[in-house]
Amino acid sequence: MAFYSVALVIHVVAATLFFGNIMVTGVWKVFIDKSKDIEKIRIGIRLVILTDYIFTFCGAVLLALTGAYLVYYLQLDRFGEKWLLVGTSSFILSGLIWVLFLVPNQYKQKKLIENVDQFSKIAKEFNTLAQKWYFWGTLSNIFALCALVSMIIRF
């Protein structure tokens, strides 16, 4: 029972860090991008990548591990419980979007702005990448929120 409680606390803390990061990052990145200040954007994309590894990746790993343990401990039917299936599927889809679209886009943005001294020199290409990042980020967040709601409400 003690390990169950520890796993549950870790699960909730991981969810808090994970969701806090994915929601807040999108907001502050929009404001930084709109500044058109190349140095702010350069620092911003580095921080997006850094916080993604610290909070998004680590949070997702902890959520998956503790979630799997909690399902096992509580002897839940992974495929028979609709809320669990929807929540897990949504979480996986959110992660796939992050890995397949967001992370590569972030590295393209980072590479694009590395050796530029004026935003105007890369504005069109950067804005195209940023718009794609906003789209995929929003979609990933929607799936993550579906996972959160499913896991809490257990419909």
The predicted model scores a pTM of 0.92
Task: Report whether pLDDT(32) > 90.
Answer: yes
* Structural domain range at position 97: 2-153
pLDDT for 17: 96
Q: Enter the DSSP assignment of 54.
A: I
| Contact (Cβ atoms closer than 8 angstroms) between residue 56 and residue 94 | no
pLDDT for 42: 97
How far is Cα 137 from Cα 28, in angstroms, rounded to an integer? 13
- Per-residue model confidence as pLDDT tens digits over 36-80: 999 999 999 999 999 999 999 999 999 999 999 999 999 999 889
Number of structural domains (the chain) is 1
| Cα 42 from chain centre | 20
